[in-house]
Amino acid sequence: MIDAYNRDLPFDRFTIEQIAGDLLPGASTETRVATGFHRNTLINREAGVSRAEDRFEQTINRTNTISTTWLGLTAGCAQCHDHKYDPISQREYYQLFAFMNAIQEEDIEAPLPGELGPWLASRTTYVKERDALLAEYQISQMQPVWEERMRTAITKPGTNVEWDFALTSCTAMLDNAQAMLMTPADKRTEYQRERLLNYFVYNMGPDNNRDKELMAKVRTLREKMNALNARTPQITLAHTVAEAAQPVKTTVAVRGDYKRPGIEVQPDTLAVLPPMGKAGPARLEFAKWLVSRDNPLTARVIMNRTWQEFFGRGLVRTSEDFGLQGEKPSHPELLDYLASEFIERGWSQKQMMRLIVTSATYKQSSQVRPDLVQRDPDNTLLARQSRLRLSAEGLRDSALAASGLLDERIGGPSIRPPQPPGVAELQYGNNKWRESTGADRYRRGLYIHFQRTAPYPQLMTFDAPESTVACSRRRTSNTPLQSLNLLNDPVFVEAAQALAYRVSGLPTDEARIAAAFETALNRPPSAREMSRLMRLRQEQSLVAVARVILNLDEFVTRE
């Protein structure tokens, strides 16, 4: 996704690849990876939760996300009944749902640069050593027995409660477990064989678990397998989706209850909007329809959100809701112009951003005009620029950039920067927050691992969304915690130390303070500011001065 934005992939193509990249003719690894967008749903691994219910909730999430992100509609309100305000019937909602209902989750090999060579070179040796271990511990004799018992639990539930529970646990923890178990061994892909094998080694079923002597040997096998995997180069896997091999029936969920199927529906769009094509796979045709010239919403919704990023509010303030309950556009002709220009310029987001930031409207001062305080307190008429506090991620990035610590590498796995002690202990399970080391520690906030049960506190303190549902605009708060975070958080303390070190080579305190000030704020300090900072320097360290500079309102706010 980052690469697509950096090379200004036309937004219509970007949309098609994200929603249906797997269905494009000659789909590549890249276009299939784009469909990982659909995998950003909540996944319930509780063994007692119905897999049908979990899949239903994931499909609801995908449907609502597309409705909000591309159409600016609250279609999710029609999950249980006809929409109370907008022309969206419950039947039409499940027609949209049907596009997502045929999705099947699939993980594929997607090696990052530099991974494929070492992985291929080590593969023969790895398989040989692994197979030797499996033979030594007779795994190939035990696994078929386990699989047969699991298949019995699938086809004849209630025969054995212990194996019913084992199947329930397997289905919760291993995606597509039942489908893989029911696939003959010689018909499985190598990836499927490895997934089942690895699951079996660590979950050998109730019969084997009762054999204490066997399980003692198996624990040794697990240690050897862990060591083998640790010293073997790995290849990155991508979470993607594919179309189900068999047609999937979609019905209206009566009152929104997945257990109460109603009438059958086919994939289709809303009657109030222009019809879509029917020539190709439904999800692909839907993606093309979203960015067709006939669709009046998508270009306007995206341009409104782009405007929102630069001015703090959209031309339609309710950027998530273009329906009857949303606010009317403050400048409808401007929104129409931006939408038409977006399409005419080949759906180029960079060209539209350049158009906006070079406009006279954007270049205005954010200084509040006394004559407009009463007439336009919210600056709806854009008589000035808006003051915007940086985003949660942007605050951390700016501090790291000013201090010289920021690592600007693009791509790769998530990171875990320092966080206050005690936070990780609040999360569900036994997961530990293992702080990233080296350059990874200073990567951009975009790459911070998001643990939903205990989110990274700096992100939450500065109003980052919770990431459980689509968010088209962030609300901004002002709390004492934010000041304490900027002063005392390990990341910001380290940034202040690095900024002080960065200027420490200059000959005088005055020169050091001026350099730190200009590095952070892009202007020299006034005489009054220099006097106060010099007085602080005489009382405390240069690090304390750097901490003050990085805590100034001017540093955390875009004027």
Q: From its phi and psi, is residue 475 left (phi > 0), alpha (psi between -120 and 50) or beta?
A: beta
Q: Looking at the whole model, is its pTM more than 0.85?
A: yes
Q: What is the pLDDT of residue 431?
A: 67
**CA dist., res. 68 & res. 366, Å (int):** 30
Of 500, 499, 480, 477, the closest CA to residue 488 belongs to 480
The confidence band for 15, taking pLDDT boundaries of 50, 70 and 90, is very high
Is 519 in a helix, a strand, or coil?
helix
Residue with tokens 């958080």: 489
* Secondary structure element (H or E) that encloses residue 36, with its range: none
Alpha helices in 437-489 (DSSP H): 457-461, 480-488
Cβ pair 149, 205 in contact under 8 A: yes
| Residue 523: closest CA among 472, 559, 482, 469 | 559
The tens digit of pLDDT for each residue in 171-197 reads: 999 988 998 999 998 899 888 999 999
Other CB atoms within a 10 A radius of the CB of residue 419 amount to 20
Contact 459, 484 (CB under 8 A): no
| Exposed/middle/buried for residue 366 (C-beta within 10 Å: 0-12, 13-18, 19+) | middle
DSSP letter string, 157-206: TTS-HHHHHHHHHHHHHSTTHHHHHHS-GGGS-HHHHHHHHHHHHH--HH
Question: Is 502 in a helix, a strand, or coil?
Answer: helix
Q: How far is CA 117 from the centre of its chain?
A: 29
- pLDDT tens digits, residue range 440-480? 999 999 999 988 888 899 999 999 998 888 999 998 999 99
Tens digit of pLDDT for each residue in 480-493?
999 999 999 999 99
Strand 557-558 to 261-265 pairing: unpaired
Closest CA to 391 of 451, 487, 473: 473
**What are the E-state strand segments in 206-285?**
237-243, 250-253, 261-265
Q: 430 pLDDT exceeds 80?
A: no
Which tens digit of pLDDT belongs to each residue from 138-153?
998 999 999 999 999 9
Q: Which residues of 210-233 are buried (b: 16+ CB within 10 A; e: fewer)?
A: eeeebeeebeebeebbeeeeeebe
pLDDT interval class at 411 (50, 70, 90): confident
End-to-end CA gap in the chain: 29
Nearest to 469 by CA among 56, 57, 65: 65
How is residue 526 written in tokens? 């006034």
Angstrom distance (rounded) from CA 495 to CA 516? 12
**How many CB atoms lie under 10 A from the CB of residue 180?**
20
Backbone phi, then psi, for 265, in 5-degree steps?
-130, 160
The pLDDT tens digits for 254-307 are 999 999 999 999 999 999 999 998 888 999 999 999 999 999 999 999 999 999
The one-letter code for the residue type at 23 is L
